A and B are shown apart, each in its own frame.
Chain A
Amino acid sequence: MPSDPFTPGVVAGRLSADEIAENFQDLHPPLNDHEAHVAADRCYFCFDAPCATACPTTIDIPLFIRQIATGTPEAAARTIFSQNILGGMCARVCPTETLCEEVCVREVAEGKPVIIGQLQRYATDRLMAAGTHPFSRASDTGKTVAVVGAGPAGLAAAHRLAMLGHAVTIFDARPKGGGLNEYGIAAYKATGGFAGAELDWLLGIGGITVEYGKKLGAELALSDLEDRFDAVFLGIGLAGVNALALEGSGPEVVNAVDWIAEMRQSKDKTDIAVGRDVVVIGGGMTAVDAAIQSRLLGAGNVTMAYRRDRAAMAASVMEQNLAASKGVRIVCNAAPKALVASGVLFARTETRDGQLVDTGETFEIAADQVMLAIGQSLAGQPDLALKGRKIAVDEHGRTSRPGVWAGGDCASGGDDLTVTAVAEGRDAAMDIDAALSA
């Protein structure tokens, strides 16, 4: 008998392939021409625009929106890509509600921002659909750069370096490139194999070779890369998963990032097992993504449990509301204590004098599957100075080792956002170029 949302345990195929496909459709369907023109018309072309300042990659947002308004979305796309070569993915996954759109003067004045993210997607989709690459390479400099990690930071660095005429080799531990774009982003935010298509399109600049299945600390040694290349950029992300030791037994426990990565690679997701009662532990974007996608796969009851209060959640209000709209229950001030036969035992918490403390009360939430989404950490780091738990870098992305730069989630400084990773990769590339040209 096929399973359904009421089937107990952790099982695959709670919904049909068609139902799953329907559930995982584009979160924001693309704008058509008319919608884009109406949306673009709302932009005031502000002076020293707050939106552009809020963008980690400093895209000239008023200009690209005006280029859409005047019927040249391709020119708009060039404006975007000149600052952010992953502008297509960022248009889909950026938390615009806490970046450009939050400070849009129309958000401040009316509570209705210009829909910058969707307009960016309109423009970038148009240019990418043409199948052409908008930039060309400078003449060959004869310099070589190794980029470790084919995620947003590594790709942004590689593209900029290739554009400047350097020969780039990207190494990635996984069998596919894209990093979190390919393995981590919620499926409904980048439908249609967008991450892979964007990678292929980006490589259209030329001058970049990619070697998969090469992991730093395993197949690759940093000292070896330093010998073979004129410069090294590390964009290795946070490959480690923070552990949470819970006593007891009962529900199955998985790491949310691993579960999402497996789901992202599944063809129609009917083979992805999910609980009837799922508890996701964490308060960030990964927790939201795991919780929502559990529901979309047919989990009956999904609870996101976060140990602090709602205001402290890393997931934006928009993400929280999205989770709620998909039927995810968010429980705050719930610190996991132990696994029990029917689920998870939580201690109720509160904040006293800035300290999170248990109140002494406990309660249980039913679960047959528990997903841990309590953060990732640097794994297999080479011999480099750290700042906190990340690779220490200066404002140019330089690490403690001369000739080695780092950016993205693995490096200190900046939020763990795709767009921040792109900015850091791009800026490190400019510094590498300056160093190699000196």
Chain B
Amino acid sequence: MADLTSTFVGIKSPNPFWLASAPPTDKEYNVRRAYEAGWGGVVWKTLGEAGPPIVNVNGPRYGAIHGADRRLLGLNNIELITDRPLDVNLREIKSVKRDYPDRALVVSLMVPCEEEPWKAILPLVEETGADGVELNFGCPHGMAERGMGSAVGQVPEYIEMVTRWVKQYTRMPVIVKLTPNITDIRQPAAAAMRGGADAVSLINTINSITSVNLDLFAPEPTIDGAGAHGGYCGPAVKPIALNMVAEIKRNAETADLPVSGIGGVTTWRDAAEFIALGAGNVQVCTAAMTYGFDVVKEMISGLSQWMDEGGHESVASVVGRAVPNCKDWQDLNLNYVTKAVIDQEACIKCGRCYAACEDTSHQAIFNEIDGVRGFKVNEAECVACNLCVDICPVEGCITMRELALGEVDERTGKKVEPYANWQTHPNNPAARAAE
């Protein structure tokens, strides 16, 4: 049985599945039930400074993108940080942590971008016995308009400055949560590191309008005839999050900075992918909001089975295993040649591959075999783009065959040669210049 225990910036948890700072972690009642369901840790929904509580809209806070059969693919929200009094949250955090000492409990924080408020709130959190803090430099709506959240996360200098204050005023591990609403994720990650952050967590939500109400001509969710952009999350954002995690782990400066992976984790496989790209653990929100806390049971059993089958003894042993294989385009092997193959037994003759290839790609599929309807690859035209594989409704029907070294590529008439990339390619002016 694989060891799922996780130690992230010194914080231990029985598994690497934490609930992200969000509505599911807003109060003691939820967090206790989450722990009972099996979650390894939680990041308590973001606390603000003491004073009059935060106010939320009283109309809809969420908008969604659905697949067929109402599968929730993407979720957008305009909710702000906790709207419960600071002292109530702190009291509850202390109570929960006391009863669940083996679970991770990290507190998310967002106070004005000034030294005093940070200095003031940190001892209060420390007193609860919480395991660490996460600095919310990510929320893209509402609080950003007040100079907090992503407004800080979009300015590396601010990230560094605030992180430094926080490290100065607390002994707790500090995780900096990053916004994806930037051009180069490596910059804010490096800034957090310079400020002394123990880790970064990403991604927070992406600026989005999920849909437009065409009767009201207003964005959804619509509040009294108008809407504001929200933060997008859920399965749809996973590819964006995976790339950002990989960017940080590939970057020499930030490669050793621990990452907590967030963004659309819905199944064990999603989690394993984040971990393979260097995340030390994962945080989950939308899956819990869609299916309830019990969804973690599948994540635990699935990750455990995958680790057992692969002979991976611990989570730590797989962290970052895919990072060395994340390359720049210019490093890819241009002499790696594949051709699409359509399994005639599996083919149901829908012709989607033909339409895609004929209309939008390389005219590399025949639509007749011996005079009757049937679909077959023309290797003399196939560039191996993979579009037919991706749009084929029958899993495994179209596959890619790798040409062996020395085999002739019918399209080019050339034999397959050993590895060579763009950097040495004769068509590359830079390659020539280097000679």
Contact = CB atoms under 8 A, between A and B. Distances in A.
A79 B395 CA distance: 27
Contact of A78 (B268, B269, B294, B301): B301
Number of chain A interface residues as a range: 10 to 19
Contacts of B395: 33-34
Contact of B302 (A42, A45, A72): A72
Contact of B305 (A47, A63, A74): A74
B298 A67 contact: yes
A419 B386 CA distance: 48
B267 interface: yes
A70 interface: yes
B269 A45 contact: no
Contact of B298 (A33, A42, A47, A66): A66
A67 B296 CA distance: 11
Interface centre among B295, B297, B394, B395, by most chain A C-beta atoms within 10 angstroms, is: B297
A262 B291 CA distance: 49
B69 A67 contact: no
Given A63-B298, A70-B268, A45 B305 contact: no
How many chain B residues sit at the interface, stated as a range, is: 10 to 19
A67 B394 contact: no
A67 B301 contact: yes
A79 B394 contact: no
Contacts of B294: 45, 62-63
Contact of A79 (B267, B268, B269, B301): B301
Given A34-B395, A47-B292, A75-B305, A70 B298 contact: yes
A213 interface: no
A285 B395 CA distance: 40
Contacts of B295: 45, 66
B292 A45 contact: yes
Contacts of A71: 269, 302
Interface in A52-81: 60, 62-63, 66-67, 69-72, 74-75, 78-79
B267 A70 contact: yes
B301 A75 contact: yes
A72 B268 contact: yes
Contacts of A72: 268, 298, 301-302, 305-306
Nearest to A42: B69
A136 B268 CA distance: 25
A41 B69 contact: yes
A75 B291 contact: no
A75 B69 contact: no
A208 B395 CA distance: 43
Interface string B253-291: 000000000000001110000000000000000000001
Interface of B: 69, 71, 267-269, 291-292, 294-295, 297-298, 301-302, 304-306, 394-395
26 contacts: A33-B395, A34-B394, A41-B71, A45-B294, A62-B294, A63-B297, A63-B298, A66-B291, A67-B298, A67-B301, A67-B302, A70-B267, A70-B268, A70-B269, A70-B298, A71-B269, A72-B268, A72-B301, A72-B302, A72-B305, A72-B306, A74-B305, A75-B301, A75-B302, A75-B304, A75-B305
A-B pairs, top 10 by smallest CB distance, nearest first, are A75-B301, A70-B267, A45-B291, A66-B298, A72-B302, A75-B305, A72-B305, A70-B302, A67-B298, A63-B297
